[in-house]
Amino acid sequence: MPTALIVGGGLGGLAAAIGLRREGWTTVILEAAHQISEVGAGIQLPPNSGRILVKWGLKDKIEKVACRPRTIRHWRYDNAAPLSKWPFPSEELMGAPYWNIHRGDYQKLLLDEAIASTLSSPVQNPGPPLKIYTNTKVSSVDCENGSVKTTDGRFFSGDVLIGADGVRSVVKVAVTGEPDHAKPSGDQAFRFLIPVEKVEKHPELNFVLEHVANNHLGPDAHIVHYPVHGYKLINVVCVSQDMGLTQESWNQQGSREEVLKAFEGWSPEILKLLSLPDKYLKWQLIKREELHTWVRGKTTLLGDACHAMVPYLAQGAAQAVEDGAALALALGSGLPLDEALRAYEHVRKPRTTAVMNGADDARTSYHMHDGVAQMKRDNALKKEWGKGSISPHWAYDAEGEMDKHLNELIGRRDSTNPESSR
Ligand SMILES: Cc1cc2nc3c(=O)[nH]c(=O)nc-3n(C[C@H](O)[C@H](O)[C@H](O)COP(=O)(O)OP(=O)(O)OC[C@H]3O[C@@H](n4cnc5c(N)ncnc54)[C@H](O)[C@@H]3O)c2cc1C
């Protein structure tokens, strides 16, 4: 069995490990942290990634811990006036629900699947359970040979090397041969979780408890909140202009004063919500431009390592899962490795660039100052009241698109060389 060596055990690395196991690969993850774990925050799991997880047999496990918002709502920042109420498209239409989930729950269910002795949706001849080396930080990369060296001097190699090592990827630097170009987006995010029973004590916050994904829009800022963890916690993400105080870290602590200052002038309901938590985390939001290549030798990239984006479409992790599933199909196609990696890049690079650009556009729309453009935006939102629209990003079929391209390539090879062995 060929071996895939994956650097990074985040959501993207784990999704790739599951996809590759399903294609019969042996999978190994090298993870810098001392254990595979996620930060205490929620994440939206849209149907474009949900469909892949449903196909992998994970629906029941997700349902046990995730929440299904019934509608998405937009609100005005200073008086909490409602601007929209759209039902999410149905599960029947999309092939998966729209889920909100705690990151830790998400990470755990992917990890459990990757290391399980039997896959949730069995396939013929799967690869063995994932092997993970924690406390294993990669320091240098040989892309041509698919091998790495760790900070403590160990060497690992694989038939393919996958850089799923996030926004400051060392594998990305080796693949592109260029220094890191990920840069601050100009925005920061405060994130926190509030127990539902704490919110219940404040009747003016009843709207927070509804099964809704909420988006409050204000000048240079927006706030998203929704229930997670089986409706036991409310996840809140507050995005505002970066005042130069944040670092790019998943664990930097913020304070109540900082959050309230960043959202001065917002409605009393929102300020009450922001004052409830005991602990605030803050992030500098990072983005990168499209890379000139994702492939060198036996090595490729996925997730934030190659397309870190601002989180305004809630698609970063969803794209990493799409990458993992598509890469697994390419590597399982029987094409020679270099062709399989180029096929993966051919399909995934334009898709993820379109999503990155869409996320930048969403920022412009969410963060408008009051004025003509903002009034037009609000009127457009209100016009759609009750109708619901399907984001084209949710409808995208990552595996279908990958399969289509692979079939074209294989068809072309067969017609030029009927003897070609796959
Ligand atoms: C505020 C905010 C809100 C978001 N909301 C959403 C959302 O609602 N929906 C959504 O889909 N996405 C969302 N995202 C984006 C999403 O969090 C990321 O896109 C996703 O986590 C990327 O996953 P990844 O596996 O590519 O990278 P990461 O999760 O960063 O994982 C990389 C892993 O590699 C390890 N690593 C790094 N360097 C090394 C090394 N040298 N050696 C070994 N291991 C290494 C790290 O320890 C880490 O475990 C949000 C992001 C932010 C900041």
Catalytic residues: 191
How far is 332 from 256, CA to CA, in rounded Å? 50
Q: Rounded to 5 degrees, what are φ and ψ at 81?
A: -75, 135
The ipTM is 0.98
Residue 400: its pLDDT value, please?
98
Atom 51, ligand 1: which residue's CA is nearest? 311
What's the 277 CA to ligand 1 centre distance in angstroms?
24
Q: How far is CA 44 from the centre of its chain?
A: 8
pLDDT value of residue 422: 46
User: What pLDDT, on a 0 to 100 scale, did the predictor assign at position 250?
Assistant: 60
Q: Which of 152, 304, 310, 352 gets mutated to test ligand 1 (max ligand atoms within 8 A of its CB)?
A: 304
Shortest-distance Cα residue to atom 2 of ligand 1: 311
**Residue ranges of the chain with pLDDT lower than 50?**
421-422
User: Is the CB of residue 314 below 6 angstroms from any atom belonging to ligand 1?
Assistant: yes
pLDDT tens-digit profile of 262-292?
999 999 999 999 999 999 998 889 888 899 9
CATH code of the domain made up of 3-66+102-182+289-367+391-416: 3.50.50.60
Which residue has its alpha carbon closest to ligand 1 atom 6?
Answer: 314
Burial annotation 68-96 (CB, 10 A radius, 16+ → b, else e): bbebbbbbbbeeeeebbbbebbeeeebbb
User: Distance from the CA of 8 to the center of ligand 1, in angstroms?
Assistant: 9
Q: E strands along 128-220, which residues?
A: 131-133, 138-142, 147-150, 155-157, 160-163, 183-195, 212-218
Task: Report whether residue 337 contacts ligand 1, using a CB cutoff of 6 Å.
Answer: no
CA-wise closest residue to 306 among 393, 180, 203: 180
Interatomic CA distance for residues 390 and 77, integer angstroms: 25
What is 177-192 written as a DSSP string?
Answer: -S----EEEEEEEEEE
**CA-based diameter of the chain, in Å?**
72
Question: What pLDDT is attached to residue 421?
Answer: 46
Helix, strand, coil in percent for the chain, rounding step 5: 40, 25, 35
311 lines ligand 1 (CB under 6 A): yes
Please work out whether the CB of residue 323 comes within 6 Å of at least one atom of ligand 1. no
**Cα–Cα dist 198/200, whole Å:** 5
